[in-house]
Amino acid sequence: MNVIGVIGNKNMSTKNKILDSAEILFADKGFNGTSLREITSQAEVNLAAVNYHFGSKKELIKAVMSRYMSELSPRLESALGALCSNDVKPSLIEVFSAFIEPLLYLNTVKENGTSIFLQLLGRGYTDSQGFLRWFLTTQYPNVFIGFTNAVHKAYPELSAEEMFWRLHFTMGTIVFTMSSSDALIDIALNDFDRQIDIAGVIKQVIPYVAAGVAAPIIK
Amino acid sequence: MNVIGVIGNKNMSTKNKILDSAEILFADKGFNGTSLREITSQAEVNLAAVNYHFGSKKELIKAVMSRYMSELSPRLESALGALCSNDVKPSLIEVFSAFIEPLLYLNTVKENGTSIFLQLLGRGYTDSQGFLRWFLTTQYPNVFIGFTNAVHKAYPELSAEEMFWRLHFTMGTIVFTMSSSDALIDIALNDFDRQIDIAGVIKQVIPYVAAGVAAPIIK
DNA sequence: TTCAAATTCAAACAAGCGTTTAAAATAGCT
DNA sequence: AGCTATTTTAAACGCTTGTTTGAATTTGAA
């Protein structure tokens, strides 16, 4: 039994049926690219149900993201906080590895939850002209603060400006990779005959972003 | 006088007026997010002109990209080819730096050309479910081959699969950063009182991606 | 100048969008 | 069972989308 919604259960609420269908379609085709009619017909509910239960499409998008963020945010905060609370200086690999457990936890909450969430995150940064970015940074600021603090502890020589850019590069790497992870995993399967899952992609990306953030400071 | 279009010239062709308006709107709001009516009214041409001159919106998108790729592709090929033709092993910094001159050349071809092109590239990878990615990889395969060869020469220990992932991470970093570069440059201006331009962003990103690709191989 | 080709134009098309409405159905409490 | 509040439903709303049409206009060579 899932915490988020109930898969394949015909007795679940209209609200959750909509959320479950919406998140998959949003992840696949973007927020702008998915219509309410697609969502409601896949969820097998009436078209008007979205506006009845959520008010508008924009509020539905927020609700889809909040369902994941409410699970992720506290776990991420405590994992990052733990790195900063003791006296030993963490490595950047450790900082980025702090994301693994909370992110993979989403897989136990919902089938493919990790992948869906990261794809949604990617969509949110490119679709809809940044309104979702605003929503996340204002609604869950502690995640960003905790992350910044952890990176600063691991690499104090990095100036605020350099850290700003490198964290955004990192965000870009993760978000872009995940928003096209399905296609990339397909290519990897064809070209290298290697079955890879979302955890495998995360394992590949962490050394990359850790090295990027740790790059020598340019003069 | 610009190679691509003519800025502020009332005597330019309808076709170029459409292309000039379209690329800016596409870069700013994405392909799906920009309507033909926005394009034609900003270009001060009739709505039907797009379908008359280009056939469809999809063909217009291709034409916008092709105008830049035809300038960029040969310069990129020769810059990357030069790295591979002699006997000295290039550093990864050199490989990525090979992109700078061809990319900045787009600025001489069109005002803000570099920034616009990179934003369009970012849009193309997330909007429209990857049809533009297909278009670019099939239409300009030599750029990808040259890049792969150059990276292999700089870092031969990297397996094909690891290189595949790291190049896609790199692509993600660049493309994502550039598709939101306007917002990022604004934030940098507010938070650090630093005027930064697209060339400045490129300078920041190269050490990052070079270090990422050069990261130690995971076991 | 004439005439055919190329281009521009206003208008309309069919289709899809998010949202609203008011009636019908259901659920939950007394 | 009866009544109220909640939820579901079909239909329509007003608007925007990409595309097409056919007539008006401009262009360029003979």
User: Could you read off the pLDDT of B158-210 as tens digits, one per residue?
Assistant: 988 888 889 889 988 887 887 777 777 877 888 888 888 877 888 889 999 99
Confidence of residue A129 (pLDDT cuts 50, 70, 90): low
Instruction: Name the least confident of A1-5, A103-107, A211-215.
Output: A1-5
Chain B touched by A207 (CB under 8 Å):
yes
Q: Quote the distance between the C-alpha of residue A175 and its chain's center.
A: 7
Residue A219: pLDDT above 70? no
Contacts of A123 in chain B (CB under 8 A): 126
A13 or B127, which is more confident: A13
| Tokens of residue B114, six digits | 């570099």
Please give the CATH architecture assigned to the domain spanning A66-213.
Orthogonal Bundle (1.10)
Query: Given an 8 Å threshold on Cβ–Cβ distance, is B165 in contact with A205?
Result: yes
According to the model, what pLDDT value does residue A32 have?
87
Collapsing DSSP states into helix, strand and coil, what is residue B28?
Answer: helix
**What are the φ and ψ backbone dihedral angles of A86, each rounded to 5 degrees?**
-85, 180
Alpha-carbon gap, residue B55 to B58, rounded angstroms: 8
Q: Which among A7, A20, A12, A123 has a CA at the least distance from the CA of A67? A: A20
Compute the nearest-CA separation of B23 from chain A (Å): 17
According to the model, what pLDDT value does residue B176 have?
80
Amino acid at B107: N
A 10 A CB-CB count for A109 gives 17
Locate the chain B residue with the closest alpha carbon to A162.
Answer: B204
3-state secondary structure chain A: CCCCCCCCCCCCCHHHHHHHHHHHHHHHHCCCCCCHHHHHHHHCCCCCHHHHHHCCHHHHHHHHHHHHHHHHHHHHHHHHHHHHHCCCCCCHHHHHHCCHHHHHHHHHHCCCHHHHHHHHHHHHHHHHHHHHHHHHHHHCHHHHHHHHHHHHHHCCCCCHHHHHHHHHHHHHHHHHHHHCHHHHHHHHHHHHCCCCCHHHHHHHHHHHHHHHHCCCCCC
Q: Write out chain B's pLDDT in tens, 219 residues.
A: 344 444 444 458 899 999 999 999 999 888 988 999 999 999 999 999 999 999 999 999 999 999 999 999 999 989 988 888 888 888 888 888 888 899 999 999 898 898 899 889 888 877 766 666 777 778 888 888 888 889 999 999 998 888 888 988 998 888 788 777 777 787 788 888 888 887 788 888 999 999 999 999 876
B37 touches strand D (CB under 7 A): yes
Write down the residue that tokens 């900045």 correspond to. Answer: B104
According to the model, what pLDDT value does residue B129 have?
63
Residue A152: pLDDT above 60? yes
Strand D positions with any atom < 7 Å from protein CB?
7-12, 16-22
Alpha-carbon gap, residue B136 to B147, rounded angstroms: 14
* CATH of B65-213 given 1.20.1440.120, 3.90.700.10, 1.10.10.10, 1.10.357.10: 1.10.357.10
Collect all residues with Cβ–Cβ distance below 8 Å to A16 and sequence separation of at least 6: A4, A5, A6
Q: Which among A143, A174, A155 has a CA at the least distance from the CA of A91? A: A155
B27-36 tens-digit pLDDT? 988 898 899 9
3-state secondary structure B137-188: HHHCHHHHHHHHHHHHHHCCCCCHHHHHHHHHHHHHHHHHHHHCHHHHHHHH
DSSP B41-93: HHHTS-TTHHHHHHSSHHHHHHHHHHHHHHHHHHHHHHHHHHHHHSSSPPPHH
Locate the chain B residue with the closest alpha carbon to A195.
Answer: B161
Q: Which long-range contacts (CB under 8 A, 24 or more apart) does A132-136 make?
A: A132/A31, A132/A61, A132/A65, A135/A62, A135/A65, A136/A65, A136/A69
Chain A touched by B131 (CB under 8 Å):
no
